[in-house]
Amino acid sequence: MEERNISQAVIRRLPRYYRYLGDLLENEVERISSNDLSKRMNVTASQIRQDLNNFGGFGQQGYGYNVKYLHTEIGKILGLDNTHNFVIIGAGNLGQALAKYVSFEKRGFIIKGLFDVNPRLEGMSIRGIPIRKMDELKNFIKDNNIEIAVLTIPKEKAVEVADMLVDTKIKGIWNFAHTDLKLPKHIIVENVHLSDSLMSLSYRIGHQGRKMPQD
Amino acid sequence: MEERNISQAVIRRLPRYYRYLGDLLENEVERISSNDLSKRMNVTASQIRQDLNNFGGFGQQGYGYNVKYLHTEIGKILGLDNTHNFVIIGAGNLGQALAKYVSFEKRGFIIKGLFDVNPRLEGMSIRGIPIRKMDELKNFIKDNNIEIAVLTIPKEKAVEVADMLVDTKIKGIWNFAHTDLKLPKHIIVENVHLSDSLMSLSYRIGHQGRKMPQD
């Protein structure tokens, strides 16, 4: 399938389509019009058609979308038809919580290793996965075909660890550290800045009632 | 200070300014030009000026920004000069991890209570905060002046709990559940959809090398 240059905004929306279609599947809905999908998702029907046209369409005029087919196809576009091995670096509270999050596995994201600098954690296991020392990381990535590193470490450590990852075959970093990482372009960084998110919420609570146009 | 109608994109960027200014403060930088800030943050200087002009400026031509002043002022805009009491609903792995996250407290977000439907968790405490039963929630919110509810529960429960929260004085929901909540406008919902974020990363890894224009 030919794909055009896809904007960041479309990429942000794709997982949301996937999620809504998954919910429809769970509710045994077989097909849905872009109008109905539009109402559920609170985006315009023309936005939906335009987004999906980036990937070649999928709908038939007057018939709507086949839910299962569209779910599968968007899953493929998102790379969910393959498995992706990942490691978590930083086995503190958040790292351990993510390690225990089984939904990731259902989507093909397989946790292979947990790493921490803290010697007190050595010998501990989470869901049967031992917490390893940082000096084992590089070889572990090579030997286990690791694609993604999840960083759940303080910002001071994150920069250092990210620099170390540049020398590996890591393709992406899921960064929970409270800093932006500056890395070569071949390593994709996806940030989850929890404090930023909480501060946005705080802003919006404080400025409630103010009109906030969507960009 | 007169504030104009602020776009979502600016609101997203404000916490990032706050974070970078905080880093500069830690490094004892006293003032910075919009050009220098621009290079660090990887946004254009004119974007920075434009963003900050929404709130009345803060810079002097040829002088740059006073880091401490700007940090404080953006903090005020974000509502960080006040404390915000919150509860976490769902004391599973993620809920417990967030309860232990002390950085939130430093910014004025004070955890007051933890709630869970699971009777096995009753009597447990996280950082001295007992895990309470859901039927205590409404009174607890009223008695403790709770502004924010953090939802770290499965999506099926999230809709039900959110509906219950509509009858309280909750101002905002920080939603980690894997679903979008449809609530009256006076309740602000800020979503952290971890699976969506991981799928975006997966997409970008799979389509590496493709040009991705910013929107």
Q: Report which residue type is found at B3.
A: E
Q: Do B77 and A180 touch (CB under 8 A)?
A: no
Preferred mutation among A54, A196, A200 to probe B, highest tally of B CBs within 10 A: A200
**Region B158-183 average pLDDT:** 95
In a domain, B212, yes or no: no
pLDDT higher than threshold 60 for residue A3: no
Considering CB atoms only, which of B14, B180, B203 is closest to A14? B203
> Token digits for B168?
């309280």
> Token digits for A89?
């670096």
C-alpha–C-alpha distance, residues B215 and B206, integer Å: 20
* Mean pLDDT for all residues in chain A: 90
Is the same domain home to A90 and A60? no
Is the same domain home to B65 and B149? no
The answer, for B110 touching chain A at a CB cutoff of 8 Å, is no
* Contacts with B, A 112-141, CB within 8 Å: none
Place of tokens 């058609």: A49
Distance from CA of B70 to the nearest CA of A (A): 16
The answer, for B78 touching chain A at a CB cutoff of 8 Å, is yes
Residues recorded for chain B? 215
Q: Do B201 and A148 touch (CB under 8 A)?
A: yes
Q: Do B212 and A103 touch (CB under 8 A)?
A: no
Q: Do B205 and A97 touch (CB under 8 A)?
A: no
N-term to C-term CA, chain B: 30
pLDDT higher than threshold 50 for residue A39: yes
Count Cβ atoms within 10 A of the Cβ of residue B15 and give its class: 0-12 exposed, 13-18 middle, 19 or more buried.
Answer: buried
Considering CB atoms only, which of A188, A206, A213 is closest to B7? A213
C-alpha–C-alpha distance, residues B34 and B64, integer Å: 6
pLDDT digits 0-9 by tens, B114-124 = 999 888 888 89
What pLDDT sits at residue B56?
Answer: 78
Is the same domain home to A48 and A93? no
In a domain, B210, yes or no: no
C-alpha–C-alpha distance, residues B205 and B90, integer Å: 32
In a domain, B215, yes or no: no
In a domain, A118, yes or no: yes
Which range has the top average pLDDT, B3-17, B113-127, B186-200?
B186-200
pLDDT digits 0-9 by tens, A167-188 = 999 999 999 999 999 999 999 9
Domain with residue A31: its CATH number is: 1.10.10.10
pLDDT over 70 percentage in chain A: 93
Contacts of A15 in chain B (CB under 8 A): 193, 195-197, 199-200, 203
Q: How many domains does chain A have?
A: 2
Q: Do B19 and A179 touch (CB under 8 A)?
A: yes
**Region B108-114 average pLDDT:** 96
Integer Rg of chain A from CA: 20
In a domain, A214, yes or no: no
Q: DSSP characters for chain A?
A: ----PPPHHHHHHHHHHHHHHHHHHHTT--EE-HHHHHHHHTS-HHHHHHHHHTTT---BTTTBEEHHHHHHHHHHHTTTTS-EEEEEE--SHHHHHHHT-THHHHTTEEEEEEEES-GGGTT-EETTEEEEEGGGHHHHHHHTT--EEEE-S-HHHHHHHHHHHTTS---EEEE-SSS-----TTSEEEE--HHHHHHHHHHHHHTTTS-----
Is the same domain home to A171 and A128? yes
Backbone angles phi, psi at A60, to 5 degrees: -115, 135
Per-position b or e across B25-64, b if 16+ CB within 10 A of its CB = eeeeeebbebeebbeebebeeeebbebbebbeeebeeeeb
Considering CB atoms only, which of B3, B100, B148 is closest to A201? B148
Is the same domain home to A102 and A191? yes
CA quadruple A175, A176, A180, A182: dihedral sign: negative
Instruction: Report which of residues A69 and B122 the model is more confident about.
Output: A69
Domain with residue A166: its CATH number is: 3.40.50.720
The answer, for A93 touching chain B at a CB cutoff of 8 Å, is yes
**Region A32-40 average pLDDT:** 91
A139 C-beta neighbours (distance < 10 Å), count: 10
CA quadruple A79, A197, A126, B91: dihedral sign: negative
Range of the domain at A176: 84-196
Distance from CA of B118 to the nearest CA of A (A): 17
pLDDT higher than threshold 90 for residue B100: yes
What pLDDT sits at residue A63?
Answer: 80
Continuous segment of H or E residues that includes residue B37: helix B34-41
In a domain, A53, yes or no: yes
Is the same domain home to A96 and A188? yes
* Contacts with B, A 150-209, CB within 8 Å: 171-172, 174, 178-180, 186, 188, 190, 192-208
| H, E, C per residue of B55-122 | CCCCCECCCEEEHHHHHHHHHHHCCCCCCEEEEEECCCHHHHHHHCCCHHHHCCEEEEEEEECCHHHC
Using an 8 Å Cβ cutoff, are B129 and B99 in contact? Answer: yes
Closest residue of A to B150, CA-based? A198
Is the same domain home to B89 and B72? no
Per-position b or e across B125-162, b if 16+ CB within 10 A of its CB = ebeebebbebeebeeebeeeebbbbbbbbeeebbbebb
The answer, for B23 touching chain A at a CB cutoff of 8 Å, is yes
In a domain, B34, yes or no: yes
Contacts of B107 in chain A (CB under 8 A): 195, 198-199
Pairing of strands B109-116, B129-133: parallel
Is the same domain home to B97 and B175? yes
In a domain, A215, yes or no: no
Contacts of B165 in chain A (CB under 8 A): none
Lowest mean pLDDT among A99-103, B183-187, B205-209: B205-209
Contacts of A23 in chain B (CB under 8 A): 179
Q: Do B103 and A178 touch (CB under 8 A)?
A: yes
What pLDDT sits at residue B1?
Answer: 46
Is the same domain home to B121 and B173? yes
> Token digits for B120?
């096995």
Q: DSSP characters for A151-185?
A: E-S-HHHHHHHHHHHTTS---EEEE-SSS-----T
A200, A201, A197, A209: which is closest to B3 by C-alpha? A209
Considering CB atoms only, which of B5, B15, B94 is closest to A212? B5
Is the same domain home to A158 and A119? yes
C-alpha–C-alpha distance, residues A206 and A52, integer Å: 36
The answer, for B16 touching chain A at a CB cutoff of 8 Å, is yes
